[in-house]
Structure 1
Amino acid sequence: MTGPLTGIRVVDMTAVGMGPYCTQTLGDYGADVIKIESPDGDVFRYATPSKHHGMGAPFVQLNRNKRSIILNLKQPRDLQVVKDLARRADILVYNLRAQAMRSLGLDYPSLCEINPRLVYCGVYGFSEQGPYAGRPAFDDIIQAISGMADLQGRGNGSPPVYVTSILADKVTGLSAVNAILAALYERSQSGIGQSIEVPMFETMVSFNLMEHMAGATFGGQPDDMGYARALSPHRKPFRTQDGYIGLLPYTSQQWQRFFEIAGCPQVLESPRFSTPSERAKHIGELYAMLEDITAHKTTDQWMALLEKADIPATPVNRLEDLLTDPHLVATGMFETRNHPTEGSITMTRPPARFSRTPSSIDKLAPAHGEHNDEIFDAQTGAIRVWPERNPEKE
C-alpha cells in the first residue's frame, strides 16, 4: 500500500452503502480495513445482479480494499475479538444503533479506556441528541425526511420523488471520511482520539439547505425557501434534433455569446435579462428560450458552436456511455481486475489523485469471512494481525 493513510488501522462495523463507502474510501487511501460481518453477512452481498450468491455487484463496488471476518457478537469470545481489534486500531466506524453498541460494551467510553487514541465514528440515521434517536433509517427514509424528495418533486412540478441514487448514503459516507480525517489530524497534535457522530438526517439537511435556505437565511417566511434556478421546471437537459445536451450559460458574457450564436442578441437588452439579479428572477423564461432554440440543431452542431464560444455544455451521457467516454478512458477511470471468485470485474478507480502517495486498489471485495484465519485464531480468539502499539512511541 502506498496511500497517505498507509499504517492506519480501521475496524469496519458497517453494512449496506453509507458505512462501506466511508471505509472503502479510507482503504483506497491506504488504510488497513478489517470488515466485521455477522454470520448472515452484509445485506448488500445479496443485492443483484450477481454471478454468485453473496457477491452482488453493489457489494463488490463498495467493499474493495478490505478484509472480511465473521463474528457473532452474541458470543463472548467473538465480542472479545472486536475489543482486541479496537484496542489495536486507529479508527472504528459503525452503523449499528448507538444503543446496540452500548449494550455490547462497544460504546466510546468503554473503548476509550482500552485505547485512548481511538477515533470512533458512528454513522446512523439520527443524532443521539434529539427525539428521533434510534429510529431505523435507510437512504429512502432520509431522502423523505430531509427535504430531498420534496426538492426533486418540486423541481419537476410533481409529488415528492426520490433521487435515483442512494444519495443520502453516499453523501453521509463521504462526510464521515472528512470528519475522521479531521480527527486524525487533531490526534496528531493532541495524542488522543475522540468520538464522532455523523447522522444521516442532519448531514442531508445541511447538504440540501446550502442553496435552498434562500430567503429564510434572512429571517423570511418558510415559503421563501428554495433556490429558484435549481427548482425551475425548465432546468433540465435540452432536446436537440438528435438527442439531448446539457447547457448552462452562466456569466453575462456567456449569455450574450449564446444569444449571438442563436441569432437573437437583442434578448439581453430586455430589463428582465440585462443583469445577473434580473436574470435570476426570470431564469425560467431564459431556460424556456434555450429549450426552444436547441431543438433546431443536432447535438454535434451545438457542441462545435458552444465549445468555440467557451460556453459550458456537454452531450448527455447515458450510464452505458460512461464506460467509453474518451476523457474517462484517457484518465484510466475504470479498472478491470480478475477476481478470484467473480472473474473479470470492472470498477471505478479512486478519483482523488495524490502526487507522492497514490491511492490504489490493493484488495478486491472479500468473500464472506475470507480472512478469519488470517486475522485471529478460531480456537483462542488471539489476534494474528496488528501488533500491540506503544502509545509513548506514537
Structure 2
Amino acid sequence: MGPLAGIKIIDMTSVVMGPYATQQLADMGADVIKVEAPVGDLTRQIPPFVNPGMGAIYLNANRNKRSICLDLKQPAGREVLLRLAADADVLVYNVRPQAMARLGLSYEAVSAANPRIIYAGVFGFGQAGPYAAKPAYDDLIQGGAGMSALIARASVDGVPRYVPSAMADRVVGLAAVGAICATLVNRERTGQGQRVDVPMFETMVGFVMSDHMGGLTFEPPLDKGGYARQLSSERRPYRTADGHVCALVYNDKQWSSFLAAVGMEDLLRDPCFASFRARSQNVDHVYGELARIFLTRTTAQWLELLEQADVPCMPMHDLESILDDPQLTATDFFQLMEHPTEGTVRVMRMPTEWSATPAEIGRLAPAKGADGEEVLRQSGFDADEIARLKADGILSGV
C-alpha cells in the first residue's frame, strides 16, 4: 500500500532527522531497510521505555521499517551493504560525507554498484563552504539559523532559547522527503540516478529567513529585518479568566466581528486599530489590548464567542489534553496498537490522505537487527553466507 510501494530504500540514518524522513517514506509504502551499527541507533537508549533499547523517541521515528545490524567498519560489512544497494532505489545517510567516504561508501562507490541509485545525504552543511566537515545537531542549527536570537528578541526577558522540539531535525527531514521524491520522479523520466545533498544549516536559514528577511530583502536595506507581528512580546496564547485560549484576530472582517461580539466597535476609531496596516505597525499595543480583553471571560466562553464570530481560535493543549482533542479523535490520529515486544503503544498515523493508495502502519518499530536474516535472504544471500556473516560478527541483532 501507499504511493511509494515497490520503492526500496537503504536507510543508514540514526537519531532524529534521518529516521524521521525515512519513516515518512516508509509510511508512504516504501520498503525501508534500517541499517544499524552493532551498538544500535542512539535514540533506542533515550527513556522512557518498557524494555531497554526501545525508547519512545526511537519508536516514534522508525515504524514501517525493517532492521539489519551490520558492522560496516569491516570490509565484509561494506560488501554486504553494497549488495543490498545493488537493487535499491535510494540510499539515505545522515553522517558527514567524509565519514561515508572513510567507510568506502561514497557516492562514487555506491553508484558503481548501482548507477540508478539516488544517494541522499542529510547532514549539517553545504559541501562548498568552510563548514563542510563540521558536525551538526538540532540545537546548533536552531541557534545558527537565527531562531534563538528571534526568541530572545520576542521575549520579555531577552534570553535566547531553543524551541522545545527537534524542529531543525524535523523540518530538514521533511525537506529531504521532498527532495528524494522529486529525484525519484526525475529518475523515472531520465533513467539516471544521482547524488542529492540536503544540508541542515542552509535549509533552516531559508525556513527562518523567509519570514524575517523584512527590509533586508532590499539593497540598501530598509530595516534590520524581522516580521513585527511574530516578534511581538505580546504574541502568545491569551490568558482568560480561568486558563488560556489561542486566537488570531487578523483581517478587517475578523476585527469587525470580534469587536461587535464584545461590544467594543468604537475601538475601530482608534488609529492603531483602524486598518490592517495600522494594526501591523502598532502590533504590541494591539496585542496588549487584546490581552486585557481576554481576561474578562472564561476559556469556554471565549471559544464559544469566537466560533460564533468566525474568528480563528483553538484551545491551548498540553501534552495530555491533546490526546482527547475532538478533531484528532474523529480522524483517528492517535491509535493504540500492539507491539510484538513492547505491549500496547500509542502511535500517530500519517495525516496525509490518498484516495487510491492510502498510507498505513504495517509494522511497528523493530528491535535491533530483528530482520537481518530476512533482508539478506531477499537480497540473494544463502544460508551459508548468512551463517558466516554471523560467525564473523558482521551480522548481529536479536
TM-score, with normalisation over the residues of structure 2?
A: 0.93
CA distance, structure 1, for counterparts of residue 133 and residue 237 of structure 2 = 40
2:104 counterpart of 1:105:
yes
Q: Name the counterpart of 1:77.
A: 76
The structure-2 alpha-carbon separation of the partners of 1:8 and 1:160, relative to structure 1 and needing over 3 Å to count, comes to same
Partner deviation per Cα, 1:177-210 (whole Å, 9 max, x = no partner)? 0000110111111011111110110110000011
Query: What's the CA shift for 1:279?
Result: 1.3
**1:131 partner letter:** P
- The answer as to 2:47 corresponding to 1:53 is no
Following superposition, which runs of at least 4 residues in structure 1 exceed 3 angstroms of deviation?
220-223, 377-383
CA shift, 1:381, in A, is 4.8
Q: Distance in 1 between matches of 2:20 and 2:313?
A: 30
Contact 1:148 1:208 in 2 (8 A): yes
* Equivalent in the alignment of 1:319: 319
Work out whether 1:149 is the aligned partner of 2:177.
no
Residue 244 of structure 1, CA deviation: 0.2
2:244 maps to 244
Query: 1:77-135 CA distances to partner (integer Å, 9 max, x unpaired)?
Result: 11111111111100110011101111222111222222121111100111111100111
Equivalent residue, structure 2, for 1:23 = 22
Unaligned runs of 5+ in 1: 384-394
State the Cα RMSD in Å.
1.5
Q: What is the match of residue 139 of structure 2?
A: 140
CA distance in 2, matches of 1:280, 1:52: 52
For 1:125, the aligned partner's letter is G
- Indicate the residue corresponding to 2:278 in structure 1: 278
Contact 1:77–1:381 (CA<8 Å) still a contact in 2?
no
Rounded to whole Å, the distance in 2 between the matches of 1:378 and 1:49 is 39
Post-superposition Cα deviations, 1:304-350, rounded to whole Å, max 9, x if no partner, equal 11111100011211110111111101100011111111000001001
Alpha-carbon contact 2:373-2:386 (below 8 Å) kept: no
Alpha-carbon displacement from aligned partner over 1:128-171 (angstroms, at most 9, x marks no partner): 11100111111111111111111122111322100000000000
Instruction: Give the structure 2 partner of residue 129 of structure 1.
Output: 128
Partners of 1:19 and 1:173 within 8 A in 2: yes
Cα gap change, 1:142 to 1:22, in 2 (>3 Å): same
Counterpart Cα distance in 2 of 1:45 and 1:69: 15
Amino acid at match of 1:268: L
Q: Which residue is equivalent to 1:96?
A: 95
Residue equivalent to 1:3: 2
**Structure 1 counterpart of 2:394:** none
Shift of 1:294: 0.5
Match of 2:354 in 1: 354
The answer to whether structure 1 residue 257 and structure 2 residue 257 are counterparts is yes
Match of 1:204 in 2: 204
Partner of 1:391: none
* 2-structure distance, mates of 1:380, 1:240: 69
After TM superposition, give the deviation of residue 219 of structure 1 in Å: 2.2
The verdict on how the C-alpha distance between 1:72 and 1:241 changes in structure 2, with shifts beyond 3 A counting, is: same
Q: Distance in 2 between matches of 1:61 and 1:381?
A: 33
> Match of 2:314, as an amino acid?
T
Equivalent pairs, count: 382
Q: List per-residue Cα deviations over 1:250-305 (Å, max 9, x = no partner).
A: 11010111122222212222232222112110111111011000101011111111
Q: Which residue of the partner structure matches residue 340 of structure 2?
A: 340
Contact persistence 2:214–2:223 (CA under 8 A): no
Percentage identity across paired residues of the two chains: 47
Q: Are 1:299 and 2:304 matched, yes or no?
A: no
Contact 2:20–2:173 (Cα < 8 Å) also in 1:
yes
How far the C-alpha of 1:222 sits from its partner, in A, is 8.7
The answer to whether the 8 Å contact 1:245/1:314 transfers is yes
Q: Which amino acid aligns with 1:180?
A: I
Native 8 Å contact 1:243 1:299 kept in 2: yes
Unaligned runs of 5+ in 2: 388-398
- Where 2:246 maps in the other structure, the secondary structure is strand
3-state secondary structure, aligned to 2:188:
helix
Asked whether the equivalents of residues 90 and 118 of structure 1 are also in contact (C-alpha less than 8 Å), the reply is yes
Deviates more, 1:220-229 or 1:189-198: 220-229
Distance in 2 of aligned mates of 1:242 and 1:273: 27
Alignment check: 8 A CA contact 1:81 1:382 kept:
no
Query: 216-225 or 117-126: which moved more?
Result: 216-225
> Which residue of structure 2 aligns with residue 38 of structure 1?
37
Aligned twin of 2:393: none
Question: Which is further off, 226-235 or 99-108?
Answer: 99-108
* Inter-partner Cα distance in structure 2 for 1:233 and 1:313: 19
User: 1:84 and 1:55 mapped to 2: Cα distance?
Assistant: 28
Answer with 206-215 or 275-284: which moved more: 275-284
Secondary structure in 2 matching 1:130: coil
> What TM-score does the superposition give when structure 1 sets the normalisation length?
0.94
2-structure distance, mates of 1:123, 1:68: 20
Residue of structure 2 equivalent to 1:170: 170
